[in-house]
Amino acid sequence: MEKAQVIVGLGSCGLAAGAGKVYDAIARIKEADNLDFELKKTSCIGMCFREPLVEIIDETGSYLYGDVDVKKIDEIIDKHIVNFSPIREYIVKSDKFESPYKEYFDGQVKITLRNCGFIDPESIDEYESRKGYHAIKKIANEKISVHDVIKTVLDSGLRGRGGGGFPTGLKWRFANNNRNDEKYIICNADEGDPGAFMDRSVLEGDPHSVLEGMIIGAYAIGASFGYIYCRAEYPLAVKRLNIAIGQARERGYLGTDILGIEGFNFDVAVKEGAGAFVCGEETALIASIEGERGMPRKRPPFPAVSGLWRKPTNINNVETYANIPWIIINGADAYAKYGTEKSKGTKVFALTGKIKNGGLVEVPMGITIKEIIYKLGGGIIGDKKFKGVQLGGPSGGCIPEYMSHTIVDYDSVNATGAIMGSGGMVVMDETTCMVDIARFFLDFTQKESCGKCTFCRIGTKRMLEILTRITEGEGKEGDIERLEELSIQIKDGSLCGLGQTAPNPVLTTIKYFRDEYEAHIRDKKCPALNCKKLLTYEIIPEKCTGCMVCKRGCPTQAIEGERKAVHFIHQDLCIKCGDCYSKCKFDSIKVY
C-alpha cells in the first residue's frame, strides 16, 4: 500500500454524532502537518452505538476506531499515522487482534450491506471495484434471457423485504407475463418505521446496488422507466441517489440499448415524497407519483396488471433490490443456503430501544430473536431484565421475552402476531409499560391514517382515546374487550395494510401482557412505574434527613417539613412530576 487511508463514516447517524467535525479536523491536521495519507469518506458502518467511526488502513492492517471526537482524533493521528502505534483501547475492530465485539461481527452475513462502510457511496469506481455492475454485465455478456433471470431470482427464494414477504421472482413473472408495451418499475424507499433507517442507510451507503437491482428488474419485466420513491426528509439519500443515477448514465448502465442489449432502454428518476407513512403502501405510493393525494386503491387489479398510469408496474423495496446483483453474480444456490425452508437469505434489522449495541445488523434468516438481542445487540442497557421486542415497525406486534426463542422467518414471526416489516426491532426492558407502548404506536398510525376508510380513520381514534384513558388512570371495566372488538373491525374494514395492521401492537400487548392492562384499569397502578398519573411518591421516614432539596424544588409546594426534620408529601397536591425523586440524594423517596 502506497499511502495509509483514513476513512470517516459520514452517514446520517455519523453526521448526527459529530463525524462531519471529525472529518474537518482530520483535513486540517493533514494540511497543517503536511501528512501523507489519503482522507476518504464512507457511509454508515452499522455500529451506530459507537459513532463517530474512523477506520485507518495501512500496510500493517485495518483498524476501526469508535467514539472518535475532535479531541481524540489529534491523538489517533499522532500515534497511529505519525508514530505507527495504534491506540488499542479506542479500536472496536481490527484484523490484527480480536475485537471486543467479536459476536457482533461474527454473527452477521452481509449481502444487502456488503458495500456499506467499505466504499465512498459517491464513487462509481469504488462500487465497480467491488463487483458493482458485474451482474448486469454478466447478463449482457452471457446473453442471459429474461426468463432465466426471473428463474434465478425465484430459485434463490428471495421474498420482498418490504413487509409482505411475497416471492420477488413470482412478482417479476406476473409483470413479465403482461404483454403491455409500457411498463414501470418502482423502488419503495418510503417505509416510515425504524426499519426505514435501514433503507436510508443503504441508499446513503450503496446507492448503486439498489440502482443495479432496479436495472436488472427492468430487464426482467420489460420496463422502460423507473422511480425511486424516497421521502424528502432523507436529503443525503436523495443527493447520493441523484449522483449515482448521473454516474450510471455516463457509464452506459442507463439509457438506450444498455450494454449492447438491443431494445433494452431504461432510465430512472427520484421522486421525493412528503413523508406520509401510508405511502409505504404500494397503491398509495403510485397515487403520489401520479400527483394525487397518497391514498390506497382497491385491489384487484394489482400493480403488476394496472399500476402507475394504469400500466403494468413492479414495486419492491430498497433491501430487495440491493440483494439482486449479488444473487445474479453468485447464483441462486449461494443465496438459498442461508435461512429456512420458506425464508431464504438474510435480513437487515435496525436495532433500537433499550439495547446496548443499537444500529444495523444483517443476519441469516433462522436466527432467533434472543441471539440477535444478546449476541449481536450486546444485551439490555444497564443489564436490566429483557421484557419484549416490538417487531415490524408501528404496525408490528410485541413479542414477550418468553417467546424470544422465535426464529426470524416470515411464518414464525407472523405466528406471534407480529410482522417482519422492513426490519425495525425495538427492544424493551422491565421499565417499559406495554400499555403505553401500544398507545405510542397507535398514536403514530392514527395520525398517519389517510382517512379514506371509516374504520381506520375513526376506529383508531377511538382506540387511542381508550388507551390514553387507561394510562391516565381512568380505565374502565370492559375497556380491554372494547379494544379487542375495535381491533377486529378495523382489520376487517380497512382497505390497505396500514389499517389492517394498525391494531397489531394493541392486540399483541393484550395477548401477552393482559395483566398490565388489568393493573392499570382495576388497581390504577402501572407495574412498570412508567405512567406518571398512576404513580405515588412517598417519603421514607427512616431515610429522610430533612435536607430540604425536595421541598425547595416542588412546583406545587406539596412537600411539608422543617430543616433536619422528616418531610411529608401531600398526595392531593402532588402532580407526579418526579422532581423530588430525581433530586433526592439519600434514596428517601419511594415510588409505586
**109 lies in some domain:** no
Cβ-proximal residues to 438 (8 Å cutoff; 6+ apart), any chain: 398, 467, 505, 506, 509, 510
Q: What percent of the chain has pLDDT over 70?
A: 99
Asked whether residue 321 falls in the same domain as residue 367, the answer is: no
Mean pLDDT of the chain: 94
pLDDT at position 381, please? 97
**114 lies in some domain:** no
* Three-state secondary structure call for residue 228: strand
pLDDT at position 193, please? 52
* Three-state secondary structure call for residue 196: helix
Report yes or no: 396 and 390 within 8 Å, Cβ to Cβ.
Answer: yes
H or E stretch covering 487: helix 479-493
Mind listing the pLDDT tens digit for each residue in 566-591? 999 999 999 999 999 999 999 999 99
Q: What percent of the chain has pLDDT over 90?
A: 91
Domain that holds residue 488: 434-523
497 falls in which pLDDT band (50, 70, 90)? confident
- The amino acid at residue 473 is G
Residue that finishes a domain, picked among 335, 370, 388: 335
Residue that finishes a domain, picked among 335, 358, 383: 335
Total domain count for the chain? 5
Asked whether residue 365 falls in the same domain as residue 446, the answer is: no
Asked whether residue 439 falls in the same domain as residue 577, the answer is: no
**512 lies in some domain:** yes
Here the cell at position 492 is 376487517
> Domain of 187: which CATH number?
3.40.50.11540
The C-alpha atoms of residue 492 and residue 418 are separated, in whole angstroms, by 17
Q: Which of 49-63, 167-181, 184-198 has the lowest mean pLDDT?
A: 184-198
**166 lies in some domain:** yes
66 falls in which pLDDT band (50, 70, 90)? very high
**530 lies in some domain:** no
Alpha helices in 117-195 (DSSP H): 124-129, 134-141, 146-156, 168-177
Cβ-proximal residues to 32 (8 Å cutoff; 6+ apart), any chain: none
Asked whether residue 43 falls in the same domain as residue 191, the answer is: no
279 falls in which pLDDT band (50, 70, 90)? confident
Asked whether residue 257 falls in the same domain as residue 360, the answer is: no
- Confidence check: pLDDT of 479 > 60: yes
- Confidence check: pLDDT of 197 > 80: no
- The amino acid at residue 191 is E
Asked whether residue 372 falls in the same domain as residue 413, the answer is: yes
Mind listing the pLDDT tens digit for each residue in 314-370? 999 999 999 999 999 999 999 999 999 999 999 999 999 999 999 999 999 999 999
> Domain of 552: which CATH number?
3.30.70.20
Q: How many CB atoms neighbour CB 570 within 10 A? A: 12
Asked whether residue 457 falls in the same domain as residue 541, the answer is: no
pLDDT at position 178, please? 87
Over range 402-418, report the average pLDDT: 95
Asked whether residue 271 falls in the same domain as residue 313, the answer is: yes
Q: Which of 77-81, 286-290, 391-395 has the lowest mean pLDDT?
A: 391-395
Which whole-number Å values give the CA distances from 269 to 162, 260, 293, in the listed order? Answer: 20, 22, 20
- Confidence check: pLDDT of 195 > 70: no
> Domain of 455: which CATH number?
1.20.1440.230
Q: Burial of 467 by CB count in 10 Å (0-12 exposed, 13-18 middle, 19+ buried)?
A: buried
Asked whether residue 284 falls in the same domain as residue 139, the answer is: yes
Asked whether residue 385 falls in the same domain as residue 454, the answer is: no
**115 lies in some domain:** no
H or E stretch covering 225: strand 225-231
Here the cell at position 50 is 459507537
pLDDT at position 172, please? 96
Global pTM value: 0.93
pLDDT at position 1, please? 62
Asked whether residue 48 falls in the same domain as residue 156, the answer is: no
Annotate 104-116 with b (16+ C-beta within 10 A) or e (fewer): beebbbbbbbbbb
289 falls in which pLDDT band (50, 70, 90)? very high
* Three-state secondary structure call for residue 515: helix
Report yes or no: 207 and 244 within 8 Å, Cβ to Cβ.
Answer: yes
**113 lies in some domain:** no
- Confidence check: pLDDT of 127 > 70: yes
**117 lies in some domain:** no
Asked whether residue 208 falls in the same domain as residue 319, the answer is: yes
Residue that finishes a domain, picked among 304, 335, 366: 335
Mind listing the pLDDT tens digit for each residue in 68-102? 999 999 999 999 999 999 999 999 999 999 999 99
Mind listing the pLDDT tens digit for each residue in 244-275? 999 999 999 999 999 999 999 999 999 998 87
The C-alpha atoms of residue 371 and residue 364 are separated, in whole angstroms, by 11
The C-alpha atoms of residue 29 and residue 255 are separated, in whole angstroms, by 43
> Domain of 74: which CATH number?
3.40.30.10
The C-alpha atoms of residue 278 and residue 294 are separated, in whole angstroms, by 7
The two beta strands, 346-353 and 91-94, are: unpaired
> Domain of 363: which CATH number?
3.10.20.600
